[in-house]
């Protein structure tokens, strides 16, 4: 009889242990799955953002020559001012 009581007690411990383990695994899965889905969505958006940035680099490449254009315009304006002064204007 005592062996039967001990057997039931040890079985109850196993059942409680397995139940707690299953609950813990389900909670972890419930927390990790949304994080993984969000990470996948962010990864997709990151590739779209990168493509847009590369396109922006192509569209704004000419702005690198803006300083040269400004310097040329200043030289032209200075030359025109000298010409006006020489002509008495």
**Cα 75 to Cα 82: distance, rounded to the nearest angstrom:** 11
* 79 within domain boundaries: no
**Cα 9 to Cα 20: distance, rounded to the nearest angstrom:** 17
Q: What pLDDT digit, counting tens, does each position of 23-82 carry? A: 999 999 999 999 999 999 999 999 999 999 999 999 998 888 899 999 999 999 999 999
* 74 within domain boundaries: no
**Cα 42 to Cα 37: distance, rounded to the nearest angstrom:** 9
Residues 6+ apart with CB under 8 A from 50: none
- Domain containing 43 equals 2-62
* 47 within domain boundaries: yes
* 44 within domain boundaries: yes
The one-character DSSP state at 81 is H
* 70 within domain boundaries: no
Count how many domains the chain has. Answer: 1
Note the pLDDT of residue 6. 59
Q: Considering only CA atoms, which of 35, 37, 55 is closest in space to residue 47?
A: 55
* 71 within domain boundaries: no
* 76 within domain boundaries: no
């Amino acid at each position: 009889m005592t062996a039967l009581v001990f057997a039931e007690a040890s079985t109850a411990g196993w059942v409680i242990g397995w139940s707690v383990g299953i609950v813990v695994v389900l909670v972890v899965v419930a927390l990790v799955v949304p994080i993984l889905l969000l990470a996948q969505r962010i990864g997709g958006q990151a590739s779209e953002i990168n493509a847009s940035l590369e396109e922006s680099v192509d569209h704004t490449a000419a702005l690198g020559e803006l300083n040269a254009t400004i310097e040329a315009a200043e030289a032209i304006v200075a030359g025109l001012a000298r010409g006006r002064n020489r002509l008495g204007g």
